[in-house]
Structure 1
Amino acid sequence: MNFIGKLAAATILAGVATAFAGAASAQEIAVIVKTNSSNFWQNVNKGASAAIKKHDGYTMSFDGPATESAISDEVNLVENAINRGVKGIVLAPSDPEALIPPVKRAYENGIPVVIIDSLLADGGKEYYQSFLSTDNKAAGEAMAKEMIDRVGKTGNIAVMSYVPGVGSEIGRVGGFKDYIAKNSDLKIVSTLYSQSQMATALNQTTDTLAANPDLKGIFGANEPTAVGMGRAIEQAGKKGQIVALGFDGNEDLQAMVRDGTLDAIAVQGSFQMGEKGVDTVIDLIEGKTVEPFVNTGVVIVTKDNIDSPEAQNVLY
């Protein structure tokens, strides 16, 4: 049975009426992300908004919790979308386990789901139809190579991560650490988790720099973490004295690359996640075949290439 057939069967099992519950537009696509307070996710919104204009007869809603750690709020947003009978869902899950039940319920109600950025746990794989993301493991490895190229193969470095257990974090930080371990004698003296809060990352980085005066390098693994890390480096007077690598590409991070606070940032195709996510879920609604995984790419941006077309196409 093809995907549309499976969805039809699931809809019958759940009760056809539930698929049309509430007052949603019959052709609404719900884009639900980890938080609506980040420039990264607002760039996803821009991509999704650009995509919906290409598809006559469809509308789009965009929402997310106030913070990435507000997991129950994101669960509620998905439940609400199902209850009002949306036509399809594009979802960036903030937790790989907690979002499985609402995604399963969407499947049972005949609503196709496209996952972006972070995977659900294995138990949820049968309930969504495509995954669009940076290859986070490869991106983490690329940043580890950048670190080794800049600091050498010995000495102490630190990792400033964001939310433990999130799919993107597992791949990104795991890929970084594995590459470091296999290709150098660098020691990672600490891995701290900011919960994607800039102020938390600033304080954690300040403490890390004070506790490790010989630190040669530091890696901030997502947008708010890297911004907080960069500000701590500036406040500590360490700009240009420590190799600092970040992830994502908002205006704060771009300025830090230009002034030398950060040596490089890995920038994901966030616009592409939103654009291709909406295109893919509409393809599913219309019975077309889609790829199970779409790599939305990453660009390593430095002071040398920040004004190049390749970098400018992904910065936001």
Structure 2
Amino acid sequence: MNKRTLLSTLIASTLLAASSLAMAADKEIAVIVKTTNSDFWQNVKKGSNDAAGKSKGFTATFQGAASDTDLAGQVALVENAVNRKVAGIVLAPSDPDALIPAMKKAWEAKIPVVLIDSAASDAGKAYYQSFLATDNKVAGEMSAKTLIDKIGTTGKIAIMSYTAGSGSEIGRVGGFTDYIKKHSKLQIVGPFYSNSQMGTALNQTTDVLAANPDLKGIFGANEPTAIGMGRALAQAGKAGKVVAIGFDGNSDLQGFVKDGTIEAIAVQSAYEMGNLGVKTVVELVQGKKVPAFRDTGVLMVNKKNIDTPAAKNVLY
């Protein structure tokens, strides 16, 4: 074999080996959430990693914007995933419209998109294949019913919300408000928007309590908002005196339920959103049909049931 033939053979062997390695490399599923700065989203990460670990040939990466309101940052994360030619995207959009152009780019690149937690508006329906979430309207109604059962149908309540216009907020706070209006004569103060910042929620709740000494009830509509609400109630000496309903189930909120600061928390399965989100992308990559919507459920957790297996399955 002459040197030229030997060189050609070596080059061909190297290219074949590189090609084999590329084919063997695990396919990336990009999990892109609203922000990584809460236990809720970290539980989504745990679920997605566990699903990827059980799905041969796939890995999951996890990213979030700087905050719930950093729409440009989240758009950039999706566009970067498309440019990396990922196998699929699991996305929790912070806004029902702002992410649609980026989702369209994924669709044009034949990259499947599965939404979790919050939906896109109707204009984006063509660009994602499945939506996994709590039925936020039902969860809001459950929270309102729990509050009415405790305080009755007259008096004044406040709504401490998070990001105005996000899909989950529209359903959750809308369901809560509609149920209150339909089934009681309770006067509603707010909603106030914390943009999912615990400190903002604490300050807002402190102001609401000071301005409304006759407040009978209060609803904190997501994890950081409910934590801020609980801390404000404790600092104002109103824990257990103003009936509070929270949302989500991290250790802070569990503590508030156990000590009576918060009457009950509506807990979503964040783990299931991440786990089922990745599994659904894998199914799509494999050419399988998937449901357009999957309800990941919600459980009202209070002092009586917080130590039950059902509650432990969703608390984090």
Q: 2: CA distance between counterparts of 1:26 and 1:235? A: 50
What is the CA distance between 1:69 and its match in structure 2?
1.2
Distance, in Å, in 1 between the alignment partners of 2:91 and 2:78 is 8
Q: Is structure 2 residue 122 aligned with structure 1 residue 126?
A: no
Q: CA RMSD in A?
A: 0.7
Structure 2 residue aligned with 1:222: 222
Alpha-carbon distance between aligned partners in 1 of 2:107 and 2:190, rounded to the nearest angstrom: 41
Q: Is the 8 A contact 2:26 2:57 kept in 1?
A: no
Aligned to 1:212: 212
Q: CA 1:246–1:210 in structure 2 vs 1: closer, same or farther (change >3 Å)?
A: same
- TM-score normalised per structure 1: 0.92
Q: Is the 8 A contact 2:44 2:275 kept in 1?
A: yes
Structure 1 Cα separation of the partners of residues 42 and 177 of structure 2: 29
Q: % of aligned pairs identical?
A: 64
Task: Please state how far the C-alpha of 1:26 moved relative to its aligned partner.
Answer: 6.2
Matched, 1:249 2:249: yes
- C-alpha distance after superposition, 1:179-210 (max 9, x if no partner): 00000111102210000000000000000000
Please list the CA deviations of residues 219-243 of structure 1 after superposition, one character each: whole Å capped at 9, or x if unmatched.
0000000000000000000011110
Structure 1 regions of 5+ residues with no counterpart?
Answer: 1-24
Q: Which residue of 1 aligns with 2:152?
A: 152
Q: Deviations over 1:251-283 (max 9, x none)?
A: 100000011100000000100000000000110
Q: 3-state DSSP class of the match of 2:86?
A: coil
**2:14: which partner in 1?**
none
Partners of 1:112 and 1:281 within 8 A in 2: yes
TM-score normalized with structure 2 length: 0.92
Q: Note if contact 2:265-2:300 (Cα within 8 Å) is conserved in structure 1.
A: yes
Q: Distance in 2 between matches of 1:98 and 1:240?
A: 40
Structure showing greater radius of gyration is: 2
1:64 partner SS: strand
Distance 1:59 1:274 in 2: 13
Distance 2:235 2:59 in 1: 45
- Contact 1:26-1:86 within 8 A present in 2 as well: no
Deviation string 1:146-167 (CA, Å, 9 cap, x unpaired) is: 0100000000000000000000
Q: Residues 119 and 131 of structure 1 are in contact (CA less than 8 Å); yes or no, is this contact kept in structure 2?
A: yes
Q: Are 2:54 and 1:54 aligned? A: yes
CA offset digits 1:120-150 (Å, max 9, x no partner): 1110001000000000000000000001000
Cα distance between partner residues in 1 of 2:298 and 2:160? 19
Cα distance in 2 for partners of 1:121, 1:146 equals 30
Runs of 4+ in 1 over 3 A off after TM superposition: none
Quick one: distance in 1 between partners of 2:276 and 2:294?
9
> How big is the shift at 1:68?
1.1
**Superposition pairs of residues 84-123 of structure 1, within 5 angstroms:** 84-123=84-123
Deviations 1:32-82 (A, max 9, x none): 000011100000000001101111111111100121111111100000000
8 Å CA contact 2:49, 2:59 repeated in 1:
no
Give the aligned partner of residue 165 of structure 2: 165
CA distance in 2: counterparts of 1:61 and 1:191, whole angstroms: 35
**1:312 corresponding residue in structure 2:** 312
AA aligned to 2:273 is M
List gaps (5 residues or longer) in structure 2. Answer: 1-24
